[in-house]
Amino acid sequence: MSLPSLAELEKVGGAPVLARLDLNVPVRDGEVLDDTRLVAALPTLRWLTERAEVVAACSHLGKAKGAPDPAYSLAPVAAALESALGRPVRFVPDCLDPANDAGPGSLLLLENLRFHPGEKANDPEFAARLTEPYSHYVNDAFGTAHRAHASVEAAARSYPRGRKAAGFLMEREVAALDRVVEEPEQPFVAVVGGAKVSTKTAPLEALVGRVSSLLIGGGMANTFFLAQGLEVGRSLVEEEMVGTARSVLAAAAKRGIEFVLPIDVVIADAIDNPKRVDVVASDAIPADMMVVDIGPEARARYREVLSAARTVFWNGPMGVFEVADFAAGTLAVAKALAASPAFTVVGGGESVMAVRQAGVIGDIDHVSTGGGASLQFITGESMPAIAALES
Ligand code: ADP
Ligand code: MG
Length of the chain as a residue count: 391
CB–CB of 198/238 below 8 Å? yes
pLDDT given at position 99? 65
CB–CB of 212/313 below 8 Å? no
Is residue 146 marked as binding?
no
Q: How far apart are CA 239 and CA 329, in angstroms?
A: 24
- Check 87, 246, 310, 372 and give the catalytic one: 372
- Per the annotation, the verdict on 275 as an active-site residue is no
- The CA angle 206-334-143, to the nearest 5 degrees, is 55
CA-closest candidate to residue 34, choices 356, 326, 316: 356
Q: What separation in angstroms does the CA of 264 have from each of 196, 286, 337?
A: 19, 13, 21
- Per the annotation, the verdict on 129 as an active-site residue is no
Is residue 350 marked as binding?
yes
Q: Name the amino acid, one letter, at 251.
A: A
177-180 long-range contacts, CB within 8 A, separation 24+:
177/345, 177/366, 177/368, 177/374, 177/377, 177/378, 179/311, 179/343, 179/345, 180/311, 180/313, 180/343, 180/345, 180/378
CA of 5 from ligand 1 middle (Å) equals 36
- DSSP bridge partners of 315: 192
Q: How far apart are CA 18 and CA 139, in angstroms?
A: 8
**Residues near ligand 1 (Cβ within 6 A):** 194-195, 199, 218-219, 236, 291-292, 315-317, 319-320, 322, 348-351, 371
- Check 51, 179, 196, 246 and give the catalytic one: 196
Nearest CA to ligand 1 atom 10: 194
Is residue 37 marked as binding?
yes
- Per the annotation, the verdict on 243 as an active-site residue is no
Q: Are strands 290-294 and 264-268 parallel, antiparallel or unpaired?
A: antiparallel
Q: Name the amino acid, one letter, at 98.
A: P
- Per the annotation, the verdict on 310 as an active-site residue is no
User: Does the global pTM surpass 0.85?
Assistant: yes
Q: Name the amino acid, one letter, at 191.
A: V
Query: pLDDT by residue for the chain (391 residues), tens digit each?
Result: 589 999 999 999 999 999 999 999 999 999 999 898 999 999 999 999 999 999 999 999 999 999 999 999 999 999 999 999 999 999 999 999 866 677 788 999 999 999 999 999 999 999 999 999 999 999 999 999 999 999 999 999 999 999 999 999 999 999 999 999 999 999 999 999 999 999 999 999 999 999 999 999 999 999 999 999 999 999 999 999 999 999 999 999 999 999 999 999 999 999 999 999 999 999 999 999 999 999 999 999 999 999 999 999 999 999 999 999 999 999 999 999 999 999 999 998 899 999 999 999 999 999 999 999 999 999 999 999 999 999 9
Q: How far apart are CA 375 and CA 381, in angstroms?
A: 10
Which of ligand 1's atoms lies nearest the C-alpha of 195?
12
Q: How far apart are CA 255 and CA 211, in angstroms?
A: 10
Give ion ligand 2 contacts, CB < 5 A: 349-350
> What is the H or E stretch that residue 277 is in?
strand 277-281
CA-closest candidate to residue 4, choices 150, 162, 180, 211: 162
- DSSP bridge partners of 294: 265
